[in-house]
Structure formats: C-alpha cells, structure tokens
Amino acid sequence: MTMYELGRSDVSAPIRVDGPDGPWPALRESVAVNGHVVVFADWNSWLPAVAGGSDLRALLGSRDWDRFNSLEKPEVRYRFAVSRMLLRHAASAVLEVSPDAVELAYRPGGRPYLRGCDQIDVSLSHTQDLVVIGLNRRGRIGVDTEKAARRLRYSEVHRQMCTTAERARLARMSGPEQEAELLRVWTLKEAYTKALGQGMRMGFNQFGFDAAGRGPMTSDGRPASYDEWTFGTYRVELGDGYLMSVACHDAGHGGEGGTAVAAMLDEGFFGQVVDLMDHRARRR
C-alpha cells in the first residue's frame, strides 16, 4: 500500500499504520510539530488484532459494541471495529494514555469526539478496504475517501455540486480528466463540510476549490477565508486505488504545550484529580 500527493499541500503527510504496533511516535511528532495528524490503514491488516482480541468489547465501549453486534455481515462488522480501534489507538498515542482509557462519544449526526478531551478534534472515513483517521489540536479537521474508479458524470451533477468558477474550469477538460477532477473536488468538499460538522446539509455549489486545491472559494472563484484552512488530496495505491482528501483548520490559538492528557488539563483541576485518586487508594 503506497500513497502519493496530488498537487501541493500544507497538510502533514498521512501516516500508514498497519496494526496496533504503530508507528505511534510518528503520530505524536506530527501533532507536536504540525498540530494535526492523518493516519490510514487497510482494515484487513488490523483484522487479526480485532478478530482475536478478547478485550474487543472493553475497547469498543458499550455503544460501539452494541453497534458492532447489530451489523449482520462479518466484513461490515469487522471493518467498523477496525475503524474504531484505529481511532482509539491513534488518540491514545497522541494523548499518551492506554487505548482503553480513550472514550469515544458521538454528537448528533454521528460525528465522533473524545469525551473529556475536546481540545482534539477527530474525523473518520472509510470506503471498502481503506480507513482514514484525522486528529487536530489547533482546530477542526475533516477527512474523506472514495474509490478512485468512482465515476461522477459532470452533466448530471455540475449544477448541484459545482460553483460557477468550477463549472467554467471543468467544462474545458476532456472526459477522463474532467471525471478525475470532479472526484477530487467532491472529496475536498466532503472533507471540508465534515470538518464544519455540516455534512450534506451544506450546498456543495456554495463554495469551491481551485485547480491547486486551495479553498474555500466563493462561487466566482475569490478566496473565502484568510488562510486558516489547509487542504490536501492523496492517491492511495491499495487495490484499484483510492482518493483521500483532508481539510485542516487552524483557529489561531497557537497550540503550545504537549498533547499528553496531563498537559492539556487545567493544572489545578488535574492536581485535584490526582489528590482524589491518592485519597481513594489510601482508603482501600
């Protein structure tokens, strides 16, 4: 499984993770240096850890365990379990805690978040064999993946999906080039609206991207932000190939300090927690 970048990107290079052994230090370094990290995996490489794990129920948590058991097809069940296990392991590496200490919760609409650690935004996407996770400590993040062979017909979707500027650019392209660019724009818009927490509720013809993947742009092609957003699209050579797009936001808060749980909590509050735990330990 290899990956290459499509165009210039300020998003840190996604990191491939084949199983519970990592490489987890690379994730911590990416978040420390860049403020965010994107990881991806072939879910089949994680299957031995999921299928043979006696602690899967504890690791998934009650809600995800119930969801896991409600899925009828084994492939769908284990792909779901892998996506949550990868997310928990990635978050645990960044937070410097054990995976079973990471608690996933869900906002209305199904977007996951780390309970008790809102300083890190998370995003998840999976399509067939590919699972992608994004974590960002400086703002919002959204990831999206699609099969590279997926075909979107310009004549059928351009009015609902493209801005005026995008339509003008796409109309000048040949068929195969047009389809490839349309799919790239689609994944960028999916990633961006996921980062905003809007999903398909936000009209895709209301904002756009230029040929370099810069955005968001107004309908007529003018910048609609002040460089607080960065975007990237990558081709993952797995099977017939996938496109993976990332939308990463920097809220301008600086993001100083470590990402270990102790460093991210208020010092006074953390001290009270430690004192309480020591008190309980002495009473036992």
274 lies in a domain? no
Q: What CATH number should be reported for the domain holding residue 134? A: 3.90.470.20
Q: Domain of residue 108: give its range.
A: 2-258
Query: What pTM, to 2 d.p., does this model score?
Result: 0.85
Helix crossing, 74-95 with 56-70: angle to 10°?
140
Q: With respect to residue 9, please indicate whether it lies within any of the assigned structural domains.
A: yes
DSSP-derived letter for residue 219 is T
> Cα–Cα distance between 166 and 183 in angstroms, integer?
13
Query: Can you give the pLDDT at residue 86?
Result: 95
Phi-psi region of 156 (alpha: psi -120 to 50; beta: other; left: phi over 0): alpha
Residue 235, domain member (yes or no) = yes
CB atoms near residue 258 (< 10 Å): 15
Q: Chain centroid to CA 281: how far?
A: 38
> How many domains, in total, are found in the chain?
1
Half-sphere CA count of 151, side-chain side, radius 13 A:
4
**Per-residue pLDDT tens digits of the chain, which is 284 residues long:** 877 888 767 889 999 999 999 999 999 999 999 999 999 999 999 999 888 666 788 888 889 999 999 999 999 999 999 999 999 999 999 999 988 888 899 988 788 899 888 789 999 999 999 999 999 999 999 999 999 999 888 888 888 899 999 999 999 998 889 999 999 999 999 999 999 987 656 788 889 998 888 889 898 888 888 789 999 999 999 999 999 999 999 988 655 555 554 444 444 433 443 354 444 444 44
Q: Is residue 245 part of a domain?
A: yes
Residue 278 resides in a domain: no
- Asked whether residue 76 is domain-assigned, the answer is yes
Residue 269 inside a domain? The answer is: no
Amino acid at residue number 40: F
Distances (CA, A) of 222 to 105, 156, 219, 235: 37, 25, 7, 27
Q: Is residue 77 part of a domain?
A: yes
DSSP three-state, residue 265: coil
